[in-house]
Structure 1
Amino acid sequence: MSVPQGSACVRCPKLLGKSCCEPRGSEHLAIVTRADMARIHAHTGLAVHRFTHEEGLTEYVAAEYESRWPLYRGYFRRGPVRVTLASRRGACVFLDPAKGCGLPADVRPVACRLYPFEQWADGSWSVAVSRYGDLALAREEGGACLAVEEAGSMEELLVMFGTTREAVEALGASLAEESRAHGRG
């Protein structure tokens, strides 16, 4: 197998048309916690409302979300409001089309650092997007991750992101704790 040149994240918009930082249709950007907002505010000096978007949900949708995505259990304890990164001109406010994310890795929301990995309700780990196996189909369908498309296994995907299962699980634990704290206020 030939190794693609350059980071999948850098090549993604060109090959798939849009990156995970450019939501399509009903997609939304990463959910942020109060801790994420505090880190971003401390780094950028921006008021939180300049880089977040609040979306009211029904109690049912919020409960369903927490039951499906265990890392967000407790997030909606204070009410059914999802806070995401804001989008401007079809992309995350922090996306620089030429360079990628304008935030240092340690400042980014934990959900962004964790993507495309996610924990399922049964506690197992997988990827947040479907694997199409064909770049043209992935581009047409949307919601794809180029690294997922190019990797032949979960181990290859971990290598592509320069991480390990243990590091992914640690980020997951961090997101779970921040979600519980978010809900406590």
Structure 2
Amino acid sequence: MNALSRSGDSPGSRNPESCRRCAAAGPTCCTLTPGHEELCFPISEVERHRIAEHVGLSLGAFTPEANSGAFLSCMRRLFPREGKLLESLFPESGRHLRLSVSPGGHCVFLQADGCRLPREARPYYCRLFPFWMADGRVTAFAAASCLVHRQGRTVAGMLTLLAATEGQVRDLHGRLRLAWGLPPREDMPAVTPVPARFGT
């Protein structure tokens, strides 16, 4: 098993207390604004199967969502130079899966003490947050509600708080890209787009 698939080897996993404290304080990155569900990140088939292996195929855990213009706009902001590939992965007439949420916008797996999924079973996007890759650099989302973001202030500070490294973030981001149908790095040849990888 690869190191980043083990609990304790991905961003945040060595400091689960941060996630518990954030969940207790709320709101968290596991909550979205009701009515904005279409903007939630997609769940690939490999991620869905991994979750199912740990918790079973719980009815209502995943929700089909249309590949709306607003969704694609968000995806283009994440991958600004790969718009054409995104359009083939998420065709306008198609759908993708996302995690289900409560009427209040809370993730179906969110509990009072944080996510009930073991870290190795969580979606790649969740395991990466608050980090991302932009222009080959490790960056972080400007998430005002994120406890680690408020306390760490800088990317280096957040990495230190979570006992994570830039190498771990880069590796996990590459895994997310592969699961979502993109090449591991932006400068690599594109894989063949397969919309079915999103279970639709």
TM bin, normalised by shorter chain, reads 0.7 to 0.9
Contact 1:70 1:176 in 2 (8 A): no
Aligned pair count reads 163
Aligned counterparts of 2:67 and 2:97: Cα–Cα separation in 1:
11
**What's the offset of the Cα at 1:58?**
3.5
> What's the Cα RMSD here?
2.9
State the partner residue of 1:135. Answer: none
Letter in 1 for 2:51: I
Alignment of 1:12-161 (within 5 A): 12-15=22-25, 17-25=26-34, 26=36, 29-47=40-58, 50-58=60-68, 62=72, 64-70=73-79, 74=85, 77=89, 79-80=91-92, 81-90=95-104, 91-97=106-112, 99-120=113-134, 122-130=135-143, 138=144, 144-161=145-162
Structure 2 CA distance for partners of 1:75 and 1:175, relative to 1, 3 Å? farther
Give me the identity figure in percent.
Answer: 25
Q: Is the 8 A contact 1:29 1:92 kept in 2?
A: no
What do residues 112-152 of structure 1 show as CA deviations (whole Å, max 9, x unaligned)? 100111123x333311234xxxxxxx4xxxxx211000114
CA contact (8 A) 1:75 1:179 kept: no
Residues 49-69 of structure 1 show CA distances to partners (whole Å, capped at 9, x for unaligned) of 62112221336852x444321
Q: Who is 2:167 aligned against?
A: 166
Aligned amino acid, residue 110 of structure 1: Y
Q: Which residue of 1 aligns with 2:10?
A: none
Where 2:121 maps in the other structure, the secondary structure is coil
Any stretches of 5+ residues in structure 2 without a counterpart?
A: 1-15, 183-191
Residue identity in the other structure for 1:22:
T
Q: Specify the SS of the correspondent of 2:119.
A: coil
Match in the other structure for 2:13:
none
Provide, for residues 25-76 of structure 1, a one-character-per-residue CA deviation record: whole Å limited to 9, x for no partner. Answer: 43655432111101011221215x62112221336852x44432129x6565
Long gaps (5+) in structure 1? 1-5, 131-137, 139-143
Contact 2:138 2:155 in 1 (8 A): no
* TM-score, reference length from structure 1: 0.73
